Structure 1
Amino acid sequence: MKITFLGTGTSQGIPIIGSNHPVCLSDNPKDKRLRVSVLVEWSGYTYVIDCGPDFRYQMLRSGCTRIDGILFTHEHSDHVIGLDDIRPFNFRQGDIPVYAHKRVLKSITKRFDYIFKTKNKYPGAPSVIKCRVKNKPFKLNRLEVVPVNGKHANLQVFGYKFDNFAYLTDMKTVKDKEIEKIKNIDTLVVNALRKEPHHSHFNLQEALNFIEKVNPKKAYLTHISHMLGFHDDVQKELPQNVFLAYDGLELTI
């Protein structure tokens, strides 16, 4: 399985428009972060987790020419608003399955009503197949995917476990029974917004505490804001098996 980090930034990305924060002014490519998303590939299949406002550029930059589906974690704009840009895939492939909690499917149906019209639909509009995700395992091309339920403040969010890889973002609380699903996994990705506490995201210490509970062989931090600090400085502070993810990072699981 190959994992490509398409974006590792928070909702505003880094640099933030108009900001003179030192991290936003950094020349290090690892300090420049698009909105959070990953590409997951195995056995000739390609899936994307979340498609935010940078989706078009992320696809161009990664060289991706086919996607077999999109899994959504939740309905916030930095995770869904790039849905219109699946059109080139539609023109080559046809309908694209989208997987999400029923609440998220309802939200994107409202926001992108022109995509989901059944009558008088504009011919060039994207075409999708809605696939409801419940909090139980489901199959994608014979691979079992396990949803991991959590809370983003009071909003339900799904993470996803693919074999020995788990991807969780925008988490603030995760119950022990959900942690059991990913205990001792090989590779964990989890959000770490900044060092200071935040009402709806893990901060760095909370992310590290969560990693300690899960006990993965390796962990990667994502959904990072400029307030966490410079990539190279923060990496020096982390445990040996914990790494800051960065845009374009590729993992082989």
Structure 2
Amino acid sequence: MKVTFLGTGTSQGVPVIGCTCEVCRSVDYRDKRLRVSVHLQVEGKSFIIDSGPDFRQQVLRERIRTLDALIFTHEHKDHTAGLDDIRAYNFSQNKDMPLYGEERVLEQLKREFAYIFSGIQYPGIPRVQLHPITETPFEIDGVLFRPIRVKHYKLPVLGYRVGDFTYITDANHIPEEEMDKIRGSKVVVLNALRQEPHISHFSLQEAVDLLTDLAPERGYLTHISHLLGPHREVEPTLPEFIRLAYDGLQFEV
């Protein structure tokens, strides 16, 4: 499996509009973070988890020419706002785009993108197939996805394990029974918003502690805000097996 981080930033991205902090003024490309999303190439298939506002820019940058399905972690705008841009794949692949998400998430998409689901099918609108999922493992084109239930403050969110890769974003609590589903993953991605505690996201130390407990071969941190600090300063403070993800980072699992 080949994994590409399409975006590693929080809901405002980095730099933040109007901010003049050290991180937002940084010229280090690793401190330029689009909204969080990841691309998986596995068994000849192409999947993206979450389509935030930067979706078009991300898939153009990575030259992702085919997409077999779009999978959602939850319904917040920084994870769904780019849905309209799947139209290009509708045209090039001549098929509807499969969308996978919990029933609650799919209902929110119907409200946010009402024109897609209205009775009047205006020419050129996105064409989609909705696939409701639960916490039960499911397959897409023969590839097994194992949902991981986490909490984003009070909102239930799904992470996913695909083979030896686990991806979790927008969480501040993982129940022990869900931790057991993650254990044994070779690579675990976890959100780490900032240095200080936050009501709905893991802080840097909380994420490091969780990854240390899980003990994967490699851990990556994502959904990072400008409050975490410059990449070049933060990464050397981390355990050797944990790295800060950055936009465009690729690796094999």
- Could you tell me whether the CA contact under 8 Å between 2:8 and 2:34 is conserved in 1? yes
Q: Paired residue for 2:63? A: 63
Q: Paired residue for 1:158? A: 158
Matches of 1:221 and 1:36, distance apart in 2: 11
Q: Could you tell me which amino acid in structure 2 is paired with residue 98 of structure 1?
A: L
Check if 1:141 corresponds to 2:141. Answer: yes
Matches of 1:181 and 1:141, distance apart in 2: 22
Q: How far did 1:43 drift?
A: 2.1
SS in 2 for 1:189: strand
Q: Could you tell me which amino acid in structure 1 is paired with residue 178 of structure 2?
A: E
SS in 2 for 1:188: strand
- Could you tell me whether the CA contact under 8 Å between 1:148 and 1:161 is conserved in 2? yes
- Could you tell me whether the CA contact under 8 Å between 2:103 and 2:133 is conserved in 1? yes
Q: Paired residue for 1:199? A: 199
| Runs of 4 or more consecutive aligned structure 1 residues displaced over 4 Å after TM superposition | none
CA RMSD of aligned residues (A): 0.7
Q: Paired residue for 2:113? A: 112
Aligned residues: 252
Matches of 1:22 and 1:38, distance apart in 2: 26
Q: Could you tell me which amino acid in structure 2 is paired with residue 198 of structure 1?
A: H
Q: How far did 1:140 drift?
A: 1.7
Q: Unaligned regions of 5+ residues in structure 2, if any?
A: none
Matches of 2:142 and 2:96, distance apart in 1: 20
Q: Paired residue for 2:96? A: 95
Q: Could you tell me which amino acid in structure 2 is paired with residue 243 of structure 1?
A: R
TM-score, normalized by length of structure 1?
0.98
Matches of 1:174 and 1:43, distance apart in 2: 29
Matches of 2:112 and 2:74, distance apart in 1: 13
Q: Unaligned regions of 5+ residues in structure 1, if any?
A: none
Q: How far did 1:185 drift?
A: 1.0
Q: How far did 1:135 drift?
A: 0.3
Q: Paired residue for 1:228? A: 228
Output one character per residue of 1:7-55: Cα deviation in whole Å (capped at 9) or x when no partner.
Answer: 0000000001111011000000000000000000012210000000000
- Could you tell me whether the CA contact under 8 Å between 1:3 and 1:252 is conserved in 2? yes
Q: How far did 1:213 drift?
A: 2.4
- Could you tell me whether the CA contact under 8 Å between 1:39 and 1:47 is conserved in 2? yes
Deviates more, 1:241-250 or 1:211-220: 211-220
Q: Paired residue for 2:72? A: 72
- Could you tell me whether the CA contact under 8 Å between 1:8 and 1:35 is conserved in 2? yes
Q: Paired residue for 2:44? A: 44
Deviates more, 1:132-141 or 1:188-197: 132-141
Q: Within 5 A, what are the aligned runs for 1:6-45?
A: 6-45=6-45
Matches of 1:179 and 1:122, distance apart in 2: 45
Matches of 2:206 and 2:133, distance apart in 1: 27
Deviates more, 1:208-217 or 1:176-185: 208-217
Aligned-pair identity in percent equals 48
Q: Could you tell me which amino acid in structure 2 is paired with residue 191 of structure 1?
A: N
- Could you tell me whether the CA contact under 8 Å between 1:188 and 1:219 is conserved in 2? yes
